[in-house]
A and B are shown apart, each in its own frame.
Chain A
């Protein structure tokens, strides 16, 4: 310890240290107070850090197997680890900025409502929960089937607004009188004029697909001025005649039927009733074709595969933001509270709008706090681990890999301590410059 020269009391020149028992005693007392901390820091942090750095230059079998920088080469050429590095890069690029922005928005907006405390408590609450348990929660939220997974149930509401599901998702024509498929729609082969009746029999509909309101199908009466018809499930348990409406055969309600003229243009459309019947009234003379449009067979929303290999990282990121946004909000709100009100008021009296006050006064004054949140989040994101293990099912964990997870797997499931050490050192090297910024801030405060 070469610190004597900057000690608070400069030593008296020439005075032997031993001659001052009072000072020595004081040092001994200080030593006694510091010893437990220094033993722990030395044995559990300092020594291991040095060991890990040295160990990273040796192979899997131990210190008799010097490997030079081979482990680092392996690190950048093993696909599992490069995937982890790529994913961590995505994390760092997206998450700290998003969390800081959300925290800022929440902090500024809560200032405008009287129930700010309640809001802050709710958003901050996930901070107390382990990232691991938060991951379990989101794994439940992220289930694929919209009737099971909350996120997809939510997405379905919007999906159905723009792409409503058809009345039927699967069917085939029951006779050759009707042609087509579920992707292009079904068309009655025979053209019809006024007074014609269109029998659009379809089959191969699973019972679960039959709309609940369906009742016994009815063969429609002809209308001399229009075209009538029926869409029905042309399937009679125990056999029947295809193309004929029989008892026990159900009408298919809610099916959109189009009437097309000879050029293929839709001139009228109708929706079937619960007995399957439909009618086009006042059809001008000419030949028409009745058709069931493809939209009737539009598949219902099957759910976004959040936990599949494609979207697993975004899914974990959503869960992570849910946990950490509250942290950003609370820290930024504290910074906001420290801004003198009169500065903001002065800007307002000078005629600045709310947005201008936010953009030109609040954000610049908050810059130090925002950077603290941002830097803290970069460090946290670099070390992300638990939440990946709990959100990602085993099948997509390889796609969700991150550096800390790769380190654990390499060292403690494959027991390659050389490569594992190299990954740890790599993580260390990434964290140091970021945290050094924060430590500088600490020193300023000291």
Chain B
């Protein structure tokens, strides 16, 4: 009898678990379908720009870009070929890179110095001053456009890459100081104390200990600043003059959108391919920085 019970019992248990499994998978199907649809919805626009950037301009005015999947022969590298011959565009890419690199390196150096002082040096009013620095996050950059425009005209920094870098640096500082100070505070005190007892100068401690140990926070910050400065339009529009990053170069073409699509689409695609590459390479740091404080 006992063998029969066991034999009868087993398939029942098996059946139940299979049924439960099927139920679970079927129950999740709508979620899968919904998420796939959303994912496609999010992918299609960027794909559309990529396809438009390899279409001849007349194809753009006659056909939907998705027709390329039926007629792959519509694809042409002509637009990209021409855009790399276009001096305005190539020089604007160089300008963008200069602004982004300068606007990343400079605020990180300055914010790391200040962040170290706020975290580990002792001076009167330290906490109070730190709150003031964070408080400057409140000031929208629109508040500085007019006076800095006048200042740059006087100092001949108008139309100068360095002027743009300094502006980005200043407005990147409050967040950068906040992020780095909070990271540096977490560095174990013993390490610093023993270095000080060994007679290391503060400069040496900063260079040899703080910067290497703070690398994760610096990396997140670097990605943020790079994307922020690479993607800027407003600051360059106001102070750039003839020094045009890629966003401004595209902006000047927008007036006749369809006619200039052979410049606009590939230029826009190049302008977003680089931040996308940075994003994919350093996604982890990007998300970390985002979570550390999502205010800009």
Contact = CB atoms under 8 A, between A and B. Distances in A.
Interface of A: 1-4, 6-9, 26-27, 29-31, 33-34, 36-38, 40-41, 43-49, 51-52, 55, 106, 109-110, 112-113, 118-119, 121-123, 125-133, 136-141, 147-150, 153, 322, 326-327, 330-331, 334, 372-373, 376, 379-380, 382-383, 385-386, 389-390, 393-394, 404, 407-408, 411-412, 417, 420-421, 423-425, 427-428, 431-432, 435-436, 438-439, 442-443, 445-446
Contacts of B118: 34
Instruction: Tell me whether chain B's interface is mostly helix, strand or loop, or mixed.
Output: helix
Among all A-B residue pairs, the 3 with the closest Cβ atoms: A3-B125, A130-B231, A44-B170
A30 B202 CA distance: 9
A193 B213 CA distance: 97
Given A37-B111, A48-B144, A119 B35 contact: yes
B43 to A, nearest CB: 6
Contacts of B139: 45, 49, 428
Which of the four size classes fits the interface of chain B? 35 or more
B69 interface: no
Contacts of A137: 45-46, 48-49, 268
A380 B177 CA distance: 21
A330 B131 CA distance: 28
Contacts of A121: 283
B113 interface: yes
B110 A40 contact: yes
B81 interface: no
A439 B44 CA distance: 37
A103 B138 CA distance: 25
B8 to A, nearest CB: 30
Contacts of A326: 42
Contacts of A383: 140, 142
B114 interface: yes
A41 B127 CA distance: 17
A140 B148 contact: no
Contacts of B52: 140
Given A52-B143, A52-B147, 17 more contacts: A31-B123, A36-B114, A44-B148, A47-B147, A52-B144, A110-B35, A112-B28, A119-B38, A129-B231, A129-B275, A130-B275, A132-B231, A140-B52, A330-B291, A383-B140, A428-B143, A432-B138
A133 B227 CA distance: 13
Contacts of B173: 37, 40-41
B133 to A, nearest CB: 7
Nearest to A326: B42
B167 to A, nearest CB: 6
B272 interface: yes
B62 to A, nearest CB: 8
Contacts of B171: 44-45
Interface stretch (B13-21, B82-90, B214-222, B233-241): B233-241
Given A45-B139, A45-B170, A148-B63, A136 B255 contact: no
B64 A408 contact: no
A398 to B, nearest CB: 15
Contact of A51 (B130, B147, B290): B147
Contacts of B268: 133, 136-137
B285 interface: no
Contacts of A153: 64, 66
20 contacts: A3-B124, A7-B126, A37-B111, A37-B177, A51-B147, A109-B35, A122-B39, A126-B42, A130-B275, A132-B231, A133-B272, A136-B254, A137-B45, A140-B52, A150-B64, A372-B294, A393-B257, A439-B137, A445-B182, A446-B131
